[in-house]
Structures are given as C-alpha cells and as structure tokens.
Amino acid sequence: MKSTKQTASRSKSNTRRAPAKRHRYPKAVRRVVVACVTMLSIVAVGCIGIGGYGWYLLNKIDTGTGDIPSDFSYPEGEGPESIPDYVFETDPYENATSVADIPVMGDTKDVTNILLIGIDGRTNYSARSDSNMIVSINKKNKTIKFVSLLRDTCITIPGRDKDGDGKDDYNKLNAAYAFGQEKLLFKTIEQNFRLKIDKYIGINFVVFPIAVDKLGGIEIELTGPEATQIPKKGTTATVETGDPNFVPMSNKPGVYQLDGFQTLQYVRIRHLDSDFGRVQRQQKAMKILLDKARRADIFTLTGMLDDLLPQVKTNMGRGDILKYVMDVASYLSYDIMTDYRVPQNGAYRNETINGGAMLVLKDPKQSVTDLHTYLYA
C-alpha cells in the first residue's frame, strides 16, 4: 500500500465551481436499479427475438471503445476536475496485510463476471460511477449474484500519482471511472480486489421509473407499514426526504398497483426494518418486473427498449450480447442473490478526509479472500 502522507489538502478546492444540483438516488437503491434495468433489457430483447427488429434494438446500444469522444464536453461539475484529491496524514493501510500475493481470478468455464456501472448524471460519460456492481453468472450452481463494490471504499488507483511520490494515490473507488472510464476502473478492481473483469455494461439511472411505467407498473402485496412509505399516486413528495407535503398511499395491508415512481420508492424503503428486509423487497420487485417483461407483448417490449437501450453502453460486441440473450430462458430459472457487498458490515472503519467520508478496509486481504469465496464457491 501507499506510504505515509505529510499533508491533508484538496487541490484547487477554493477555485472550483459548485456542481449543478441534480437528483441522486440513495446508495441502497442504486444496486437494484442497475440490476433491474440490466436484466429487463436482456430479457426483453430475448423475448422479442433476434430478428430484424431485435437487431435494430441491439444497434441502439453504445458498443464503442469506451473512450470519451474527442468533441465531448462535460456538464458543469461532472468532469474529472470535480474529483477531490484525498491526501492522508498517515497511510490508512500501513499496518494491513497486502493483497498482492492473492492470485487474480477471472472468468472460468462455470463463472462469468460482468461489471455493471451505474451512471447518475446527465450523460453516459458523467464523472463518477455511482454504482459499481459485479454480476456473476454461475452456470454450475444456477445462480446470478450481484456484488456491490461500495463507491466510497478507499482504494489505490493504478498510475494515479498526483503528488509525485512514485506511488499510486488513494481515492474513492468511484473516482477511477472519472479519471479513465471503464478501462481504468477494470485495472483498479484488479489491483485492489484481485479480480480480472473485462466486460461491462453502463446504465444511466434515469430510465428506471420509465421502464416500470412502460410495463404498466407492478401489482404487489404490501404490509400496512410499507404502504405508509409510498406516496399517493400523482404526488411527488417522498417520505425519504422528510417533505412535509408527503401524502402516504395508504396505511392498510393489501395488494396495490404501483407506477414507476411509486415502485422506486418501494425499493428504497429502508427505515422499517433491517437490511435483510430491504433486500427482500428489492428481490420481490425485481422478480415481478422480470416476469412482466417475459409475458409482455412485443409492442410493450419494443417501447420499453426504445427508452432503455440508448441509456446503455458496453464494450461487448453484439455477438457477446446475443449469447446472453439466447440464454435468457435458463437465466429466468436461476436464483438471484443481491445482498453481498464489499466491504461487509464490520469489515471497515470510517475515515473523514477533507470533509469526504471514506470506507477503509480493516483487513483488505480477508475482504478479498471472502469475496473470491463468495463468487467462486
């Protein structure tokens, strides 16, 4: 790990303009948004089939190199210059066991890992990756595991040496995407988590409520307390923000029809019970949406994909995408597991550097070993 630092500063912090305000999803909901949109896209294309229109839809996906276009201009406050430089007074991993001696794991004949990058910005090249999730498809165990690499995790970014000390700088995981898009994010994950991933899907969060509405919303059974957390249809105030204008949909248990905005509020409920309860709700909503996509008519699916696919970018060729599409029927029978994250509870400590919260792994080697066991067992 990087050696001791002498100062704590944030370069150019006094001259940088404040970023434009925009809606940001809470961290807890980003995982399920990315997972749902990805799975809905694959299932919908699979149900339509790879005929002429199927290929037309696939052509709407950005399958470029991942490099930022030469004529691209970042929206104000979303470029790499908006990323703070976190300089520690002491090395946060000075006494930790290095992960360098852990073998790098990649795809095997049974396990395929794809990186899902959640983009919460106004363009598909927005500065930071607000969600970094590994989707691990295990054909032997018939599981699809979604593993969240928390964005605030303290890591080293390969080749990033702004202070000139000859060692890779520390920063938050989500900064790697800003400094070098998915190519640098791949290298960062390999260096810090000993995982070699070379396939990714990037998704802009804004399409989730739209996708749900295109499918006609969801019909779902709610408890009374859950119903109190969801806004009345046609209103926009949410309980999450503490808005005094919030009007609950109901306080009674029952089966309810939720639109896209209400479904988003359902999957983000987090104050009623434990993390386990939240994960159960997310899985419940995901399964309903996937089932609706599987049963939807071709006009509904094409309308949904017209909105979804322009917000998707990937480095996979259409042949690779086709391979996953053709396996849709088998994937629908797999167990979907969404409750693993790095770092795990109790495996990190909080550090505040220049006003920014970072998650420092207590034992990086153990965290990486546990991650490998979860993915490949």
64-115 residue pLDDT tens = 555 555 544 555 555 565 566 666 667 788 878 889 999 999 999 999 999 9
**Last residue within a domain, chosen from 263, 295, 327:** 295
Rounded CA-CA distance 177/1 in Å is 21
Which tops the pLDDT comparison, 167 or 163?
167
141 Cβ contact list (under 8 Å, min separation 6):
110
Whether residue 38 sits in one domain with residue 149: yes
Whether residue 72 sits in one domain with residue 147: yes
The phi and psi torsions of 189 (rounded to 5 degrees) equal: -65, -40
Return the HEC string of 196-221. CCCCEEEEEHHHHHHHHHHCCCEEEE
Whether residue 163 sits in one domain with residue 83: yes
Is the model's pLDDT at 282 over the cut of 90?
Answer: no
Q: What is the CATH number of the domain that holds 289?
A: 3.40.630.190
Rounded CA-CA distance 137/282 in Å is 19
Most confidently modeled range among 84-98, 121-135, 324-338, 344-358 = 344-358
Whether residue 221 sits in one domain with residue 363: no
Is the model's pLDDT at 183 over the cut of 50?
Answer: yes
What pLDDT score does 323 carry?
A: 75
Is the model's pLDDT at 305 over the cut of 80?
Answer: no
**Last residue within a domain, chosen from 264, 295, 326:** 295
Rounded CA-CA distance 261/18 in Å is 28
What pLDDT score does 99 carry?
A: 94
Nearest Cα to Cα of residue 171 among 267, 271, 87: 87
What pLDDT score does 21 carry?
A: 42
For residue 275, which amino acid is it? D
Rounded CA-CA distance 188/184 in Å is 6
Is the model's pLDDT at 255 over the cut of 60?
Answer: yes
What pLDDT score does 195 carry?
A: 96
CA angle 283, 287, 292 (to 5 degrees): 150
Helix, strand or coil, per DSSP, at residue 360:
strand
- Please, which residues bridge with residue 235 across strands? none
Which tops the pLDDT comparison, 257 or 57?
257
Whether residue 244 sits in one domain with residue 196: no
Residue 22 domain flag? no
Residue 150 domain flag? yes
How many structural domains compose the chain? 2
Domain with 93, as residue range(s), is 27-203+297-376
Residue 5 domain flag? no
What pLDDT score does 210 carry?
A: 81
> pLDDT exceeding 70 applies to what percent of the chain?
67
Mean pLDDT confidence for 273-282 = 64
Provide the mean pLDDT of the chain: 76
Residue 16 domain flag? no
Whether residue 117 sits in one domain with residue 98: yes
Burial 315-334 (b: 16+ CB within 10 A, else e): bbeeeebbebbeebeebbeb
pTM tops 0.75, yes or no = no
Mean pLDDT confidence for 16-28 = 43
Which tops the pLDDT comparison, 123 or 171?
171
Q: Report the DSSP pairing between strands 335-342 and 143-149.
A: parallel
pLDDT digits (tens, 9 = 90+) for 210-222: 888 888 999 999 9
